[in-house]
Chain A
Amino acid sequence: MTKKTVIEKIWENHVVSREEGKPDLLYIDLHLVHEVTSPQAFEGLRMNGRRVRRPDLTYATMDHNVPTINRHFVSDPISKTQMQTLEQNCREFGIELADIDHPDQGIVHVIGPQLGLTQPGKTIVCGDSHTSTHGAFGALAFGIGTSEVEHVLATQTIWQKQPKTLQIKVNGKLGFGVQAKDIILAVIAKFGVNAGTGYVMEFTGEAIRSLTMEQRMTICNMSIEAGARAGLVSPDMTTVEYLCGRRYAPQGEEFEEAAKRWLALATDEGAAYDKTLEIDAGEIEPQMTWGTNPSMGSGISGYVPSPDQFEREADKESVRLALEYMGLEAGTKLTEIPVDYVFIGSCTNSRLSDLRAAAEVAKGRKVQDHVTAIVVPGSQTVKQQAEAEGLDKIFTEAGFEWRESGCSMCLAMNDDVVPPGKRCASTSNRNFEGRQGSGARTHLVSPSMAAAAAVTGRFTDVRELAGVNQ
């Protein structure tokens, strides 16, 4: 029997139609919907008199626009319209919705796994590029545009050319103070923002196997920042244990049966990939970006580079523009860069373990006076769990603001905006120009590095602060 990767196994289970000269028509098992990329899709259905083929495989929430202070005060009338439109559309087409008052509301990529909707072997789509997050479960999950959202709503299928497979092998063990976020930032810094274009990535290796599900989600979440529409990890016992007892996961005997099927999906020993890239976990130190795309970063002991250090003309120019936008001078030590804002949240790093890691650093320390620091849990459930553990108290006593769940300052579509020229240590996924606000300067870091920046007022190697509370 041919040895197959998890990617090929899932693909073959979902082919509805395969014809020469055409992409494959794939069946979709779970379609997640949010308020920003869906209104035009529902409108398209209405205009053509079409219905939603499988409302039972569709689940909606509102996350991009929602306020994180007073949940019922949406200052921008257009945001409000978008949220109301989603409510109307879900009612009209019979789709389950976790709206602003719902206890399950949260960032779509946080609640899918939390509710057990995300399962190994599923094909999962959402009109959001960070859908790759769900790949942590050994699901084939990728972001789609609004035309494709409409297509999936109407047909429960999507046309896709079979992608090439790329193995990202993370060898060895992670060093002290190094988090999942550091792995993925180091991978992107090493291989570039388009290393994965045209591929689906599978993360393998000792360092990946030892990660929890929440850590795997952080890694798969940022596959798209390396150009791959989807990134995944083969299912194993960590995956099965996470899903046991979750609301939408199979229960009882059915769970046992499902678990066997899930484990059998893992990539076969000796299966071939189209390409393999390797990195040694032991070499990875806490990371931080200095530029305007996620590959422009390095270990915290590094310096802001000079455009002259790059070979290609195009790269020299990109780095020159990035430093100009970021207001940084070549040769500056990264730990000498001050911060004005700290954002702990987003679909990359807003889960309970992320908040615990940040709280461990914040405990007994104070946010510097000139720093505004906010913590935005990924969902209402994460918020409640964190409060039950007293994490909210640790944060507020240290001077962080404790907010309601949503996408928040990751893309600043609500009121959580970094002002022009201000510098933010952010646990989110994109440091693009203007991402957190027009003229805002974003540095991507892990949750504990973000907390360390808040309490020292500058970027700091968290390993220097660690141990105090242990």
Chain B
Amino acid sequence: MEPINQFTGTVCPINRANIDTDQIIPKQFLKRIERQGFGQFVFYNWRFDDDGNKREDFILNDTKFADAEILVAGENFGCGSSREHAPWALLDYGFRVIIAPSYADIFYNNSVKNGILAVKLTDEEVETLLGRASVPGFKLHINLEEQSVKDDQGFTAHFDIDQYWKKMLLNGWDEISVTLTEEKKIRQYEEEVFGKQYS
């Protein structure tokens, strides 16, 4: 995955809580056997009506927000299905950072494993950003090393992140390669439990 540290981008606000992964990428698009190409289907049922016409009232269909790279949303973002197609779709569409008060556990893991920085801010901070981001072109500066989010109007917030995930994101490491350095311990565990070697 692509490493991420300092990132500046424009913001798209979606002021809804409990946005589930069925909304982020509806099931009819889960049939591909590749990881790429899901961006065109992100939030499909909110972007398009049953006849495939653009819904004018959905923010991503507003050309002023269409190129946003940072998504700000309500609590419990990414709940429901474990489909990793959700972060694949968000990333492929162009979102590199998500900001919300909380995330569903599986979605959070899936995101960091794809190099998406999912930032947790307080309800009040997210509220402020949702308000400011309703003006097109609103920009945020994210610094993972410093664990900070800033805008150009004096907003500044600190966020917490697990140090393991921080290191993985900063370095863009492949987790399987990291785990394979623990091979000795895995083999030891297998010998103890199964009395056998498997590698």
Binding site for B on A (CB under 8 A): 16-17, 21-23, 25, 27, 36-37, 39-40, 43, 48, 50, 53-54, 64-65, 76, 78-79, 81-82, 85, 127-129, 142-148, 150-151, 154-157, 159, 161, 193-194, 197-198, 224-225, 227, 229, 293, 314-315, 317-318, 321, 411-413, 420, 430, 432-435, 438-439
Contact = CB atoms under 8 A, between A and B. Distances in A.
A413 B30 contact: yes
Interface in B163-199: 163-164, 175-176, 179-180, 182, 185-186, 189-190, 193, 198-199
Interface stretch (B21-29, B61-69, B133-141): B21-29
Nearest to A321: B16
A37 B182 contact: no
B26 A53 contact: no
A229 B105 contact: yes
A42 to B, nearest CB: 9
Contacts of A193: 18, 76, 79
B33 A293 contact: no
4 smallest beta-carbon distances between A and B, as pairs: A145-B110, A145-B84, A39-B33, A143-B82
Contact of B28 (A146, A197, A413, A439): A413
Given A21-B164, A40-B84, A321-B16, 20 more contacts: A16-B189, A17-B185, A23-B162, A25-B179, A40-B34, A145-B82, A150-B176, A154-B179, A159-B164, A161-B162, A193-B79, A194-B18, A317-B16, A318-B17, A411-B27, A430-B22, A430-B80, A432-B23, A438-B45, A438-B50
User: What range describes how many residues of B lie at the interface?
Assistant: 35 or more
Contacts of B17: 314-315, 318
B109 A194 contact: no
A129 B33 contact: no
Nearest to B35: A40
Contacts of A27: 186, 189-190, 193
Nearest to B48: A438
A148 B180 CA distance: 14
A252 B175 CA distance: 41
A36 B23 contact: no
Nearest to B187: A16
Most A Cβ at <10 Å: residue of B76, B82, B189: B82
B31 A413 contact: yes
Nearest to B183: A155
Contacts of B122: none
A335 B9 CA distance: 50
B83 to A, nearest CB: 7
A433 B22 contact: yes
B54 to A, nearest CB: 15
Interface string B73-86: 01110011111100
